[in-house]
Structure 1
Amino acid sequence: MDPSLTGLRVLCAVAERGTFTAAGQSLGYTQSAVSRQVAGLERETGVMVFERNRDGVRLTSAGLILLRHARVVLDAIAAAEAELDGTLPDVHEVRVGAFLSAGAVLLPRAVQALRDRRPDIRLTTREGTTPSLVRALRAGALDLAVIALRPPYAAPDTELPAVVTERLGESTLELAVPAYGRFAGRDAVSVAELGDVDWVASPSSRDESLMGVWPGLAGRPRIAHSARDWLTKLQLVAAGCGVTTVSPSLAEVLPEGVRLVRVEGASPERRRILVARLPGRPSPSVAVVIEALRRAYPD
């Protein structure tokens, strides 16, 4: 077996992105070029690496084995290139992915703490949905992923070996409402009152439904504004354009004109926040970042 480095890089990109098209965009290749590389890799190894389906692709058990070794090979090549160039860094980079709202409070706290106490560790971050972050973790594009799970808190994916998770905290969702208007001055609203309000919601993706409309709301909610960015969503709420579901961790970064209220008359919507990594003993720098995330989680 003699796979090319290009084939291994394509393997990692497809595993991370979930489709040939998205992998090609990240690498600067066409979709057909990615398909050719994958086909060549499967011929060279004699096994099927991906299962194709209408929503994208999924690694086979053989593909997972190959991916694990591909990461080792590519990391070794990168380290060799750096050593030959004389560019081995004195700073240890740790790559962290996090779900969208975690970037408002959790990540800035962790980055600041590490900058002040451990200047030898450089934290780089990216956002994504929980499924996309777990894929990136398995593909070797991330060292850690801060993810959110809803009851019954099943594993974030069904692949083996299972990712290792550590609990950072747990919260109950609340509703962000304009400080003036229908819900002004209240600490709670009834779920029955939410059937005829305007919503500011994040657009759904192939991976999962993003936060916005209160989960399980009866009927067809009226989505007046669609935005992924939390600043945009909260500013729209402040302007009286609608309401949106949020994590209470955002309380300290709410813009003027927005209040958080409880939703009564329905089962509490809980989310468990975890930091995930691949199995095995974490490197010393990764362990330091995990501890920084644990300390940074809002009380």
Structure 2
Amino acid sequence: MDFSDVSLVALRVFREVAERGTFTAAATSLGYTQSAVSRQIASIERAAGASLLERRRDGVRLTTAGQVVLRNAARVLDQIDATTRELAGLPAEGGTVRLGWFPSAGAVLLPRAIASLRRSQPAIRVVSREGSTPSLVRALRAGTVDLALLASAPPFRPLDAESPTLELETLIERSLMLAVPTGHPLAAGDSVDVAELRGQRWIAGPAAGEDTLMGVWPGLDERPEIAHTARDWLAKLHLVAAGAGLTTVSASLAGAAPPGVRIIAVHGGPQELRRIVLARLPGRLTDAAAHLADALRTTVP
């Protein structure tokens, strides 16, 4: 086992594969061919004297040895990046925090937290990126984000089976809500019974990597009529405003609803809880990450 000849390119490729979950996605992100990615992974596995990735039909998963290499590779690459920034006269990486966030967090929670942090800690630089839960969990493991803001639904299972276990902090837990056009009969009250949702037209989109339709009220005892499909939550809400159908929203999005949309509660069925959680690797946070975490806690709607 000899890592003295392992290149920084190989380390970066390995981290990208670990984060993206497939060789193909890593190649696309880096602008490499898939064969070039495979060669870099082969070189680092030769140096390790062990298989670092378990190849599966749905992508790759880190082996125990891979977790060790990734943890140390992330540390080395962060130090190199910090050195590069310092030599270029840019702010030190210690003043930067990298945040991943679930799609609808960008409508309300993220802007509020960044604005709050800018007022209290103007020297801290926040770099953020939107992503699905699986991709952000991999990014945490790969060390390319420091914190991940995630949405979670029952039964609130662990985010992954890797070690060490991610630390999760529930920022808020509220019931799922319903977005209806203001002119719709269901908009007359503050809530509706779940039975009144039968026969409605829905605006929905598939959850990343799942068959679940995000936007349809869970547990309906009928096959829903999907009038429009959209992944973007703002697009869904504007379609609701246009009278095109109904969609579900987290309570945190209520303040971002455009004119023409009413956000109401649903009762009469199982309680549909949703959590916003802050995830990170165990260990001490940097000062910048700790300040951002505080801003998220205090500004969660």
Structure 1 and Structure 2 fold alike (TM over 0.5) = yes
The answer on whether the counterparts of 1:211 and 1:246 sit within 8 Å (CA) in structure 2 is no
Contact 2:172 2:275 in 1 (8 A): yes
Greater alpha carbon shift after TM alignment, 221-230 vs 172-181: 221-230
- Residue 188 of structure 2 aligns to a residue whose secondary structure is coil
CA contact (8 A) 1:106 1:293 kept: yes
What is the match of residue 247 of structure 1?
A: 250
Deviation track 1:2-55 (CA, whole Å, cap 9, x = no partner) reads 222111111111111111111111111122221222122212211111111111
1:91–1:122 contact (8 Å) kept in structure 2:
no
The C-alpha deviation readout for 1:37-91, integer Å capped at 9, x for no partner, is 2122212211111111111111111111110000111112222333444445498
Contact 2:198/2:222 (<8 A) preserved: yes
Among 130, 133, 136, the alignment partner of 2:133 is 130
TM-score norm. by structure 1 comes to: 0.94
Are 1:39 and 2:39 an aligned pair? no
Separation (CA, whole Å) in 1 of partners of 2:244 and 2:178: 14
* Pair 1:50-2:19 in alignment: no
Give unmatched runs, 5+ long, in structure 1: none
Q: 1: distance between equivalents of 2:36 and 2:235?
A: 38
1:98-247 matched pairs, under 5 angstroms:
98-206=101-209, 209=212, 211-247=214-250
Provide the C-alpha distance between the structure 2 equivalents of 1:84 and 1:99, rounded to a whole number of angstroms. Answer: 34
Q: TM-score, normalized by length of structure 2?
A: 0.93
Identify which range, 32-41 or 14-23, moves more after superposition. 32-41
Gapped runs of 5+ residues in structure 2?
none
Tell me the distance in 1 between the aligned counterparts of 2:86 and 2:97: 19
Q: What's the C-alpha RMSD, in Å, of the aligned pairs?
A: 1.8
Alignment partner for residue 16 of structure 2, among 7, 13, 16? 13
CA pair 62-185 structure 1, distance change in 2 beyond 3 A: same
Structure 1 counterpart of 2:112, one-letter code: R
3-state SS in 2 of match to 1:260 = strand
Give secondary structure in 2 for the equivalent of 1:160: coil
Give the AA of the match of 1:295.
Answer: T
Bigger shift: 225-234 or 210-219? 210-219
Count of aligned pairs: 298
Counterpart residue identity of residue 162, structure 2: E
Distance 1:271 1:17 in 2: 26
1:27 corresponds to which residue? Answer: 30
**Residue identity opposite 1:71 in structure 2:** A
- Same amino acid, percent of matched pairs: 56
3-state SS of 1:184 partner: helix
CA distance in 1 between partners of 2:210 and 2:143 (Å):
19
- Kindly state the Cα deviation for residue 114 of structure 1 after the two structures are TM-superposed: 1.1
Give deviations 1:131-167, integer Å, cap 9, x for gaps.
2211111111111001122223232111100111222
SS of corresponding position for 1:183: helix
Q: Is the 8 A contact 1:132 1:207 kept in 2?
A: no
